[in-house]
Amino acid sequence: MKRFLMPFLTAILASLLATPPVEAKQQSQKKTVVKIKPGAQGKNGKVVKAAKAGKSSKVQLRPRLVKKVVLVHGKRRVVYQRVAFTGQQMTVAPAIATVGDLAGLNRTTDPLELKSSVAYVIDQSSSQVLFEKNADAVLPIASITKLMTGLVVVEANQDMDEMLTIAEEDVDREKFSSSRLRVGVSLPRSVMLHLALMSSENRASAALGRNYPGGLPAFVAAMNAKAKALGMQDTRYVDANGLSSKNVSSARDLARLVVAAGQQPLLAKYSTDPRYAVEANGRTLNYVNTNHLVNNPEWDIGLQKTGYISEAGRCLVMQAKIEGRPVVMVFLDSKGKESRLGDASRVRKWLEEAKLRTML
């Protein structure tokens, strides 16, 4: 009897002393939650994305099976041991500091706890300042530039039905941003303007500037001349689409631009259009507004424009009716993709509550 039991006892003892193996055909499919560094390689060598750059994040990965050879009853046997995946630690580049960050504007606090380093809110009818935060700081304004582009085009009375063709010169060599308007696509000037204001189309904006009498240099000169005429002393333009960080302005100046642009019905209509379909070379291109507040029935927006490049952060200018009065809002260097819209909502709520307090 001992002779027959001994092999089985030996096998059991070996399995108890070893790390519990798992047969490949018996592996569990249960996922394990582990901490992993951003950029580490997950299953099948794919890079794992973390929620925030530079920080650890919880992700779900299947346990990794490690092949192992053990001795059972004096014989070599291949088993698979399930181990938790810890990920390969990689150096993650820190987020790019904006010009506002380098100037320390991000350390400015305000009673509304806005995520924007710069904010400026006025009553359009009376020019009364309702809220301000670093309103005179001169910063890159990204695609807010396109609002001046539209104003110059409209005031020049250029033919809106004239066909403009996207050329190689219109391709972004500054930030290498993408565009669905291929080189060679021809569209009316009105459509180019519509896409530039509503969907912040960079190639459309470049084409508008290039097709101005005298070309892009004359167009940029006209933009700067208009800024000077509006009293925008802190403003300078170098291109028609805002991809260069050398397009700069202050929130106080941009409020003047919003008021002037809002007097042009075409700019108001195009900038607040929720969506637009374009036929280009046999293809239908569907565009949506970069500001989803235009779809919100609780908002009455008369004019708006968003903007973003890494040096500028997230930007937003907007004219909207709040409690029956036209209000101009400017937010620059906002942190987070939706934070500028959140700041606009905070300001709106604050103004509504302020009016309610005066009525009590």
Residues designated as active site: 143, 146, 200
Contact criterion met (CB below 8 Å) for 288 and 274: yes
Contact criterion met (CB below 8 Å) for 259 and 180: no
Contact criterion met (CB below 8 Å) for 164 and 186: yes
Q: Where are the beta strands (DSSP E) in 124-167?
A: 129-133, 139-140, 163-165
- What burial letters (b/e) apply to 280-300, b meaning 16+ CB within 10 Å? beeeebebebbbebbeeeebe
CA-angle at 298, arms to 296 and 304, nearest 5° = 60
Location of structure tokens 């005298």: 214
Q: Which helix (H) or strand (E) holds 272?
A: helix 265-272
One-letter amino acid identity for 236?
R
